[in-house]
Structure 1
Amino acid sequence: MVNRDRIIDEFIHLVKIDSISLYERDMADALKIRMMKEGISVKEDDTAKKIGGNAGNLICTLKGNKDVSPILLMAHMDTVTPGIGKKPQLEGNIIKSDGTTILGADDVAGIVCILEAVRVLKEQKIDHGDIYIVFTVAEELGLLGAKNLDLSDINAKYGFVLDLGGEIGYAAISAPTQNTFDIKIIGKAAHAGIEPEKGISAIQIAVDAISNMKLGRVDDETTANIGTIKGGEATNIVCEEVEIRAEARSRDNEKLKTQTEHIKSCFEESAGKFGGKVVFRTEHLYPAYNIDESEEIISILKTASEKAGIELKLGQTGGGSDTNIINSKGIKSVNISVGMDKVHSLEEQINIDDMVKATEFLISIIQSIN
């Protein structure tokens, strides 16, 4: 039922559209045209104004002819950088980046699977319930599109987000909550050659603090990372100020709280030790979600995998996605794989066979809703 050539053509066409976060206008317009050609109503919300972007979330409604629970399908329109002037390369079954930009399979692959599934439903006259389709903006900037999405007009019981790598049939039923940290360490400048003892090195404070931290994989549910460090003016000046960006994630809320306090106390203790100061700001990006395997949405996935002949694998992911937000807003949702590989890198690629299988799995999910 799935048209492989159409998937290839659609993917290559859409992935060439520049659509970095906050600049999704061209992608949104292209998807509006495609939805309307399929007779699907499309509404763009006002998220652009709220986040300073040039496009809002697209909310599409495909009315059903079957009395079953309505569902929500989601993918995001934005990409990370470098994502301007993408040139996809087709090599056998693989579509890859040309090495100068990311490919954008994250998340054009999810978009294409949804588009193809809709076309197959119509061409094959497959009965289905009401389907809401949302293409979000600014997912890569902390799920801003999903956070500003008004679900009052989306009467869905279950959600299926197509924004995951791995084997087709893999579904993330658990994902972490995340905090990000902006840390400013304040020391005191002095001439490094003449009177270094009169200075307080912000770099020394940072090094001391970081050396005492639990970082990387803290435990099986928790990670932490120092992402960027900026500071210093010259070699002959004791560094007065350092700015640090860091993060912590955990699938357990209490563990995230503990890790956050640990990182903060390390900086504060080191600042006190050397006579400096620290300004520590925390932003909570998104909540965790955990779907119990006894939930009805898991039964739907199991039925769909059997129909499609695809092995279902339930597991966790270390990354956040729109799935986190949609679950927090009351729609039981999972994130399912579309096969994207090496995302957020210049080596990003995707196997065409995976997109075909992911689309078949999605169609089977739609047919398995009760």
Structure 2
Amino acid sequence: MNITERLKKYVQVYTTSDESSTTYPSTARQFDLAHILVDELKELGLSDAKVDDYGYVTAHLKRNVDKDLPTLGLLSHMDTAPAAKGEGVKPRVIRYEGGDILLNKEKNIVLSDKDFPALKDVVGLDLMVTDGTTLLGADDKAGIAIIMDSLRTLIEEDLPHGDLAVAFTPDEEVGRGVDHFDVEAFGADIAFTVDGSRLGEVQYECFHAVSAKVEIQGVSVHPGTAKNHMINAISLGMELDRMLPEQMRPQYTEGYEGFFHLDQFRGNVEAAELDYILRDFDADKVENMSAIIQAAVDFLNRKYGERITLTLEESYRNMREKIEPHMDLIDLCVRVMEEEGIEPIIEPIRGGTDGSRLSWMGLPTPNLFTGGMNFHGPYEYIPIQHMEKSRDVVVGLIQKMATRA
């Protein structure tokens, strides 16, 4: 089974996670892919492959060189984002010759290089796309396919490698991917998540992340007799949102700029809830952002009475601090990319990965590209040749670690 066949197989397994669930994993359907992967790992010869009660798939490959080497971990996640439909994915591969791609004739859904200019960089390549009604799920099933094909390559070609630890995790997309992950039992000294996007990405910085939950209690009365009585919880939520810095919304930020993002707003006159995510690469700046939203809530509580409750919770931290002592790993990765003719792109992740939290749990875990683009939506695509490049980088990195002095 080649890398394309693997990805086609994986994306057709429905694994969307659910942020409102209280179970772990958040959806039992993630076990469907987990069991498939355990069987495939055993077929490759990783006899200890297993899935535990939390949905973690783990396996180990013993080294074939006589050297005392650090154990390298490779991780990707099985779930897909609840931001778009993930059931009934219909993948297909096309040779892209430029211009528009008609994803769905019946619904007139078009993937256009006018809307997505990065398409112009992949003319002449083979793209896996959707039918426009679901996401593809290359985030991060492409990472799984890349790791599995890297293992196949190492084993079938008997290439030199040290001890390897492999893990496929659930619930990354809802921020719980490593809630129950046993770093010590996994046994890796350093690791990579294969969960990036553009060809050449290697990332060791990410956001410092805080979630903010706002609960508003209004007063609901008949609108015909509402004067001096009604307090509309929806209106209070809108007023709160207007008090936050307009220029710090995601659509106006890039690079190292942070943002306030209103992710969900639900409710009625009587009660409303707003879910925000606060992001910046600097922990002090995120602390200041938390103070800004707290000050806005305090002001509205003085204005309307104690009607608003704010709950702030740290989600993950910038992994840079934990990876900087291991920059030789990043340098080695860059060298492999250059040898493969890939231009390294070292930029911060404007988001987070399982590696963000794993790094703070004692396992330094930077992130590598998969090649996928437009994640979390129906316009998602991935060039097969870029997936193959990612596999070549993973294999090359493993070989270099095994053979360097």
TM score, norm. by length of structure 2: 0.82
- Give the Cα separation in 2 of the matches to 1:9 and 1:294: 35
Q: What letter matches 2:11 in structure 1?
A: V
Unaligned runs of 5+ residues in structure 2 are 18-26, 96-125
Pick one of 162, 168, 192 that aligns with 1:160: 192
RMSD of aligned C-alpha atoms? 1.8
> Does 2:218 correspond to 1:222?
no
Q: Contact 2:183–2:362 at 8 Å: present in 1 too?
A: no
Give the secondary-structure state (helix, strand or coil) at the position aligned to 1:196. Answer: coil
- Give the Cα separation in 2 of the matches to 1:356 and 1:20: 25
- Give the Cα separation in 1 of the matches to 2:326 and 2:56: 32
Q: Contact 1:206–1:267 at 8 Å: present in 2 too?
A: no
- Give the Cα separation in 2 of the matches to 1:185 and 1:59: 43
Over residues 199-225 of structure 1, what are the superposed CA-to-partner deviations in whole Å (9 max), with x where a residue is unaligned? 223233222222121241578342111
Q: State the match for 1:74 in structure 2.
A: 75
Q: Contact 1:114–1:359 at 8 Å: present in 2 too?
A: yes
Pick one of 129, 133, 139 that aligns with 1:96: 129
- Give the Cα separation in 2 of the matches to 1:59 and 1:366: 18
- Runs of 4+ with >4 A deviation: none
Change (3 A) 1:118 1:190: same
Give the secondary-structure state (helix, strand or coil) at the position aligned to 1:153. Answer: helix
Q: Contact 1:169–1:361 at 8 Å: present in 2 too?
A: no
Q: State the match for 1:51 in structure 2.
A: none
Deviation for aligned residue 1:70:
1.3
Q: State the match for 2:44 in structure 1.
A: 38
Deviation for aligned residue 1:10:
1.3
Q: What letter matches 1:57 in structure 2?
A: Y
- Give the Cα separation in 2 of the matches to 1:316 and 1:195: 50
> Does 2:341 correspond to 1:309?
yes
Q: Contact 1:206–1:270 at 8 Å: present in 2 too?
A: no
Change (3 A) 1:294 1:24: closer
- Give the Cα separation in 1 of the matches to 2:72 and 2:226: 68
Q: Percent identity over the alignment?
A: 26
Over residues 228-252 of structure 1, what are the superposed CA-to-partner deviations in whole Å (9 max), with x where a residue is unaligned? 22222xxxxxx23221111111211
- Give the Cα separation in 2 of the matches to 1:296 and 1:358: 19
Summarize the alignment of residues 1-370 of structure 1 with structure 2, pairs less than 5 Å apart.
6-21=2-17, 22=27, 23-40=29-46, 41-47=48-54, 56-66=55-65, 67=67, 68-81=69-82, 82-92=85-95, 93-142=126-175, 144-166=176-198, 168-214=199-245, 215-217=248-250, 220-232=256-268, 239-290=269-320, 291-292=323-324, 295-369=327-401, 370=404
- Give the Cα separation in 2 of the matches to 1:302 and 1:195: 65
- Give the Cα separation in 2 of the matches to 1:305 and 1:339: 14
Deviation for aligned residue 1:299:
2.2
Unaligned runs of 5+ residues in structure 1 are 48-55, 233-238
Give the secondary-structure state (helix, strand or coil) at the position aligned to 1:25. Answer: helix
Over residues 273-317 of structure 1, what are the superposed CA-to-partner deviations in whole Å (9 max), with x where a residue is unaligned? 133511112232222211439722122212322332322221101
Over residues 74-93 of structure 1, what are the superposed CA-to-partner deviations in whole Å (9 max), with x where a residue is unaligned? 00011124111111022121
- Give the Cα separation in 1 of the matches to 2:326 and 2:73: 20
Query: How many pairs were matched up?
Result: 350
Q: What letter matches 2:285 in structure 1?
A: K
